[in-house]
Structures are given as structure tokens and as C-alpha cells.
Amino acid sequence: MDLLWTISDMISVMHGRAHGNMPEGITGISIDSRNMDQGGAFFAIKGDRFDGHEFVTSALANGAGVLVVAEEKIPSLVSLTAPMIIVEDVLVAMEALGRAARARVAGKVIAITGSVGKTTAKEMLRTALSPSGKVHASVASFNNHWGVPLTLARMPKDTNFGVFEVGMNHTGEIRTLIDMVQPHIALITTVEAAHMGNFNDIAEIADAKSEIMEGVISEGSVVLNRDNDQYDHLLERAEELGMAQNSKSFGQDERSDFRLISCKSHSDCSCFSMIIDGEEAAVKLGAPGDHLVQNALGVLGVCSLVGADMARAALALADFSAEKGRGARTQCSIGDGTFTLIDESYNANPASMRAAISLLSSTDVGRGGRRIAVLGDMLEMGRFSEALHAELAEPLYEAQVDIVALSGQDMSHLADVLRGEIQVYYRSEIKAIIDWLVTKLRPGDVVMVKSSLGVGFGKIVKKLLEQFPESNEQE
């Protein structure tokens, strides 16, 4: 059995002390007591709404071999006979272990940020790099103050490529995280009006995203979206950091280092050609959407910079598919036919909303079918919220969407603009939207569900999948 860490190394790195009959080492790390590797370590971190120390018994029952606990909690844990590493602060100890993991890895490390597409780009990189070596990448969207150090600490020492997603919703957050990651390559997918409630303008968001460059190691590179309005602003920041010579760009712009030549989106894939390393390459991406092609340009650019096998990287992207909540498609049975469900329920901001609406527009409907957009509030828009929601009317008109179902306080502003122009169904409660959809859907429809995660539109997707199971027929 391969050990991720020896106990002696963990104790040394985390400045901890052992309690109990310790094993030789651990096989994995978790902060969720329900999801343990057999013989793994459970880090009892304390969050805003939970304290991991309350779940140590559950962790042990689910296979934990070692508990990492805080000194101050020992009085309440004295009855346990399980092996424990006692530290002053569990999160700080995990950060230290993450830094040690980064230091012992000789492979290439990539960090990704951006207002849209971080997780998708991370999964594309996982797919594209896998034929060239052992890839370690974060699960789900582990991109915050605990997700990044956890992903680092989990990184095996024989990793060839480490891929890390780094998120933020305030200035200074990326700076702290990227200091741990110390990437060879930083990729900024795009800068858009996300978390606008926490910033004065887009330029401030670009400044916050540019913090990722501060952690790039000497002679490392930054990869920027040349089609984005904030490209020049980000390039200026790269120049201030002495990285101008090591900055690369991707996009349709003719000056892009990784340049899109042509693209055609199909119902289940995208086919495009690009210039990379001075040569033209044809690529099939196993998911549709211009926004995904844009991500793929940056991803293949990163693959080139880290020395991956480019032919195999491009071929691997044919196996890429959109994830749950991020464009996953399901053909659902209804009556004597099917309808297409596009799940975009994980997150939303103005840019990703427009991309999802465009994706809906490009998706073929069946005979008698309609394009239906089911949209919920975009959170963290602050004082810009009313205008940003209302402005979604334009892309909906352009996409020739047949029906728009809306829910949420801020989506009422969009409903007011659309009434009389497009068939609109607005209700404040999600249940009403679900009940309406269940009775109104018909064969041939294409339904796209999109909202910020906190709005809870995942419930709509779950209910539709329960009510209308996946069809076995080919799309």
C-alpha cells in the first residue's frame, strides 16, 4: 500500500505531537468525516458553520487511521484511544503540510483563476495532461482557504503535473493562496463582472485576479485571454512584476500566441482549429460551446508550456465532457420522445449567463420543441444587481428563446423587461417553477437551468431527472 505521508514527516512538518499507537503513515487526507480513505488522516478543521472535532467519531467509523486535532480540544477528546496528531491550529497545520507537499514535487505546477471557467479549465487540463504523466488536480471546486491547502497536502510526491484552481471574491485572497501553490504557469481564463458587490468596477476585479502572477516561480509564465477587455490591464500588471517576457496569450486575436482559426459547434462537441507552437492543429472537444473552446485554447497553451505531448493532449480533449452543474447534458424521456436538459445550475454571473444562453441558442430542438431558459438570481452583484439582471434581456432576444422561467428577487427585474416580448413565467418560489415545468415540458424541448449555487436551482435539475429519467436512445 502506497503511503501519501509518513507519520514522522507529518509530525515534523506540522510541528505536532503524537498521541496513541501511531501507524507508519497515511493513505489520504480528508476534512469530511463521511468521505474517508481507509487508513487516511482526518483533519478536524473548524469552519464558520462547523467544527470538525465534533465529527471525529464518525471519521473513525468511516476508516480514518489518524486524527489531526487542536490542542485546545484535547480535554473533550480524552476518552478516545485513536491515534492523534495534536497541533496548535488544524488549518495552519494543513497549510504547512501543503507547502511541504509543494516543495517535494519536482513536476510542473499550474494554477488557474478567472471569473468564469476555472473548474472547467482545470478538468480540461486534467484530461489533456493525463497521457503525458501523473496528474494531481483538485476535486470539485476546492479553490478557497481550505480547498487549496487540502489539495496541496494530498499531492503525491511523484506527481508530474499539479493543477490547482484558485478562487476569490475579495482582494487579497488569491495572494495568500498562490503563495502556497508557487506555480510554474498561471492561467487567467477571463475577467468578468463576478462578485461585483465586493468591487467598484471590473478593473478592481482584474487587479484581484492578477494576484495569481505574484506566486509564479522565477522563469515561470502567465497565460492570458487576449480577447478579454481586461487583457491590457493584466499585461501591465505582468510588466510591473517583470513577467512581460514570459506572458503568453490565447484567443481569436491575430496576435495571440495560441490562436483560434475556426470553430464549429455541434450538438455534442466542438471542432476547431488553432495555431500552437507555430503549427496548425485540429481539435475535437467533447462538449459544445464557444466558451469551452476559449478555455481549451488556454489549456492547450499551458500543455505546450509544460512540455506535454501535444498530439496526445489534443486527442484527449475529445473525451472531455461538461460536469454536473457546468453544462452537463441529459436526454430525458418524456411521453414517446425525449427533451434535452442542460444543467448549468452550479454558478452564475453576467458572462456565464450569456455563455449559457448562447449554448441554448446553438442546441438543436426536436420536432415541435422549444428553447426554454430557466434562470435564477446571480448573487453578489451588489448595487449593480438590478441593471445586470435586466441586461440579460438582450442575449435572450438574440438567442430567440421561446420561454423564460424566472425565480428570485433580482430576476423580477428581468421579468419586467421581458414581459410582452417573450413568454415569461416568473415565480418567487423554486417549487412553483418545478411544478410548472413538470406540466409544460414536451418532446423536442431544450431546457437550460442556470443560477448562482446559493439560489438552489440544483433542486430543479434533480426533480426533472427524477420525473423524467435519462433516455437510453442516442441523441
| Residues 144-197: tens digit of each pLDDT | 999 999 999 999 999 999 999 999 888 899 999 999 999 999 999 999 887 777
| 7-14 helix and 90-104 helix, angle to the nearest 10 degrees | 110
Q: What is the pTM of this model?
A: 0.86
pLDDT of residue 296: 97
CA contacts within 13 A on the Cβ side of 143: 21
> Is position 472 within any domain?
no
| Residue type (1 letter), 417 | V
Question: Which of 88, 118, 146 is the endpoint of a domain?
Answer: 88
> Is position 37 within any domain?
yes
Say which residue, 471 or 331, is predicted with more confidence.
331
Q: With 90 as the cut, is the pLDDT of residue 325 above it?
A: no
pLDDT band at 265 (very low <50, low <70, confident <90, very high): confident
> Do 9 and 68 belong to one domain?
yes
User: What would the pLDDT profile of 25-35 be if each residue is shown by its tens digit?
Assistant: 999 999 999 99
Nearest CA to 41 among 73, 6, 75?
A: 6
Give the percent of the chain with pLDDT over 90: 80
Q: How far is CA 279 from the centre of its chain?
A: 30
pLDDT of residue 475: 44
d(CA 450, CA 455): 10
Q: Which 8-state DSSP code applies to residue 82?
A: S
Could you list the residue range(s) of the whole structural domain that residue 125 is in? 105-319
> Do 118 and 49 belong to one domain?
no
Mean pLDDT of the chain: 93
> Is position 93 within any domain?
no
Give the H or E element holding residue 247. strand 247-251
- Please state the domain count of the chain: 3
With a CB cutoff of 8 Å and minimum separation 6, the contacts of 328 are 321, 322, 342, 343
> Do 275 and 144 belong to one domain?
yes
Q: How many CB atoms neighbour CB 141 within 10 A?
A: 18
> Do 129 and 175 belong to one domain?
yes
* CATH number of the domain bearing residue 56: 3.40.1390.10
Nearest CA to 449 among 468, 470, 463, 469?
A: 463
> Is position 97 within any domain?
no
> Do 298 and 333 belong to one domain?
no
> Do 141 and 289 belong to one domain?
yes
Nearest CA to 449 among 435, 438, 464, 436?
A: 464
Question: Which of 286, 302, 319 is the endpoint of a domain?
Answer: 319
> Do 20 and 41 belong to one domain?
yes
Write the CA distances from 180 to 122, 224, 334, 440, integer angstroms.
Answer: 18, 21, 50, 51
Query: 74 in helix, strand or coil?
Result: helix
| 290-305 helix and 118-129 helix, angle to the nearest 10 degrees | 50
> Do 389 and 411 belong to one domain?
yes
pLDDT of residue 474: 47
- The answer to whether 187 touches 298, Cβ cutoff 8 Å, is yes
- The answer to whether 137 touches 162, Cβ cutoff 8 Å, is yes
d(CA 427, CA 430): 7
User: What would the pLDDT profile of 374-398 be if each residue is shown by its tens digit?
Assistant: 999 999 888 899 999 999 999 999 9
pLDDT of residue 1: 64
Cell of 192: 468578468
With a CB cutoff of 8 Å and minimum separation 6, the contacts of 318 are 269, 284, 285, 286
> Is position 473 within any domain?
no
| Residue type (1 letter), 247 | S
> Do 142 and 247 belong to one domain?
yes
> Do 347 and 430 belong to one domain?
yes
User: What would the pLDDT profile of 71-124 be if each residue is shown by its tens digit?
Assistant: 999 999 988 889 999 999 999 999 999 999 999 999 999 999 998 889 999 999
> Is position 474 within any domain?
no
User: What would the pLDDT profile of 421-432 be if each residue is shown by its tens digit?
Assistant: 899 999 989 999
**Mean pLDDT to the nearest integer, 442-462:** 94
* CATH number of the domain bearing residue 255: 3.40.1190.10
> Do 271 and 335 belong to one domain?
no
> Do 111 and 44 belong to one domain?
no
- Parallel, antiparallel, or unpaired: how do β-strands 17-19 and 84-87 relate? antiparallel
> Is position 63 within any domain?
yes
**Mean pLDDT to the nearest integer, 354-368:** 91
> Is position 60 within any domain?
yes
